[in-house]
């Protein structure tokens, strides 16, 4: 592959770091800029399998993922007193996916990718943000927030759902955002005496769902998803906003929010998808959540971010650095997959969070059924266990 000049990647997230690693291994010299002062630590626990697993395997990262150890032996759905009505051994999940499955915290996946990128010599500049782009015939002039400038052969916007690159190239986010009627907030509690014994738990009530993941004897991650109309929530009001949404909630939601000592959630955002008609313009293209955010409830965002970055690098290599042909091929492969999964995710979001009209006994019966050992492979298939790389050949 021969890109004529250095490529610039905006965003040191999962998509950006995956792309940087692939380009570096193909002989290019990418530079990554990240507006945060350090590797982003916002995130939540997630299931890792499918397309993401296949990319990690091809990158030689599976052993590092398997080496992660969380004290989680089973997943339970619990009632308002914490009593389980469905229990799923993690071994059952792994069997359903032929062993290609782990729990992973998003910050841990980022760390693994970052360490690989640095080992390869990828340049990563923290505390740096792109503020403007000017495309020329042979390169892109890039302006940064510290008033410095640079010339880059290609620019990749891997800077998330609120992408600055997308804003500069395609316009305001409101044109492309699809609000799914809910919010998500993630917390980390370092020292607690809450009743967890090697069990991840899910508790649902009308208009709100809570996920709890033990990380050690006295620390855990929690993710809250709740249905509310879209409003502007300033950062300093996010915590109180979530506490109001979970006032009177069952099981340990209120106790956890009381135990949390931060001033704001570690992660807070609307449950939103990004659907944009075109991903590329000239020498600039988008990847990951910047162009195809599925939403957290889809359970596939990180998988598809890694797959998109991997396939984008593959196409650049296939077309020997011809960005026009590579970008077109990348979109042709990824856009239909993203569109289909966005539709599925939007439909799932409507039913995942219970309403006041939901019948609890029906939901419990459905939960028991879909996690039955015989049906679990089909359930996971609906959540993207089939890799989009399965038919791809290096």
For 124, the token pair is 């990563």
Q: Kindly list the structural domains of the chain, giving each domain's residue range(s) and its CATH number in brackets, ordered by start.
A: 7-176+272-382 (3.50.50.60)
**Exposure class string for 83-93: b at 16+ Cβ within 10 A, else e:** eeebebebebb
CA distances from 70 to 188, 191, 394 (A): 14, 16, 34
Q: Pairing state of beta strands 154-157 and 284-286?
A: parallel
CA distances (Å), origin 307, targets 47, 149, 283, 327, 379: 16, 31, 21, 15, 21
What is residue 89's three-state secondary structure? strand
**Full strand arrangement of the beta sheet holding 84-89:** 84-89, 74-78, 199-205, 208-214, 220-227, 177-189, 267-274
Tell me how far apart the alpha carbons of residues 79 and 27 are, in angstroms, rounded to a whole number. Answer: 54
pLDDT in tens, the chain (394 residues): 678 899 999 999 999 999 999 999 999 999 999 999 998 766 788 888 989 999 999 999 999 999 988 889 999 999 999 999 999 999 999 998 899 999 898 899 999 999 999 999 999 999 999 999 999 999 999 999 999 999 999 999 999 999 999 999 999 999 999 999 999 999 988 887 877 778 999 999 999 999 999 988 888 899 999 999 999 999 999 999 999 999 999 999 998 998 888 888 888 999 999 999 999 999 999 999 999 988 777 667 888 899 999 999 999 999 998 999 999 999 999 999 899 888 888 888 888 899 999 998 999 999 999 898 888 888 887 776 678 886 554 4
Instruction: Take residue 267 and report the two structure tokens written for it.
Output: 């992660």
The reported pTM is 0.93
């Amino acid at each position: 592959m021969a890109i004529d000049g250095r490529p610039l990647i905006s965003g040191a997230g999962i998509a950006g770091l995956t792309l940087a690693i692939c380009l570096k291994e193909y002989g290019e010299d990418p530079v990554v800029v990240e507006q945060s002062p350090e590797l982003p630590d916002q995130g939540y626990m997630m299931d890792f399998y499918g397309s993401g697993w296949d990319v990690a395997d091809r990158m030689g990262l599976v052993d590092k993922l398997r080496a992660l150890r969380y004290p989680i032996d089973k997943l339970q759905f619990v009632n308002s007193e914490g009593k389980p009505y469905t229990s799923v051994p993690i071994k059952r999940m792994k069997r359903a996916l032929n062993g290609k499955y782990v729990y992973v915290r998003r910050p841990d996946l980022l760390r693994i990718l970052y360490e690989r990128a640095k080992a390869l010599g990828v340049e990563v500049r923290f505390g740096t943000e792109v503020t403007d782009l000017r495309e020329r015939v042979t390169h892109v002039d890039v302006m940064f927030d510290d008033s410095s400038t640079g010339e880059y052969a290609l620019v990749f916007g891997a800077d998330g759902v609120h992408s600055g690159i997308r804003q500069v190239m395609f316009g305001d986010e409101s044109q492309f955002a699809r609000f799914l009627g809910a919010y998500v907030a993630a917390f980390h509690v370092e020292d607690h005496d809450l009743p967890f014994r090697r069990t991840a738990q899910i508790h649902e009530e009308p208009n709100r769902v809570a996920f709890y993941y033990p990380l050690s004897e006295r620390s855990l991650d929690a993710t809250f998803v709740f249905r509310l109309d879209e409003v502007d929530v300033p950062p300093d009001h996010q915590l109180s906003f979530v506490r109001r949404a979970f006032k009177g909630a069952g099981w340990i939601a209120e106790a956890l929010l009381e135990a949390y000592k931060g001033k704001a959630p570690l992660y807070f955002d609307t449950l939103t998808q990004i659907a944009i008609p075109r991903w590329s313009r000239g020498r600039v293209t988008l990847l990951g959540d910047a162009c195809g955010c599925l939403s957290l409830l889809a359970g596939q965002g990180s998988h598809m971010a890694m797959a998109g970055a991997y396939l984008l690098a593959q196409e650049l290599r296939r077309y020997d650095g011809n960005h026009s042909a590579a970008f077109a091929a990348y979109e042709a492969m990824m856009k239909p997959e993203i569109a289909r999964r966005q539709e599925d995710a939007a439909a799932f979001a409507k039913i995942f969070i219970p309403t006041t009209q939901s019948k609890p006994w029906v939901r419990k019966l459905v939960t028991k059924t879909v996690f039955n050992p015989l049906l679990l492979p089909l359930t996971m298939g609906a959540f993207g266990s089939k890799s989009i790389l399965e038919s791809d050949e290096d």
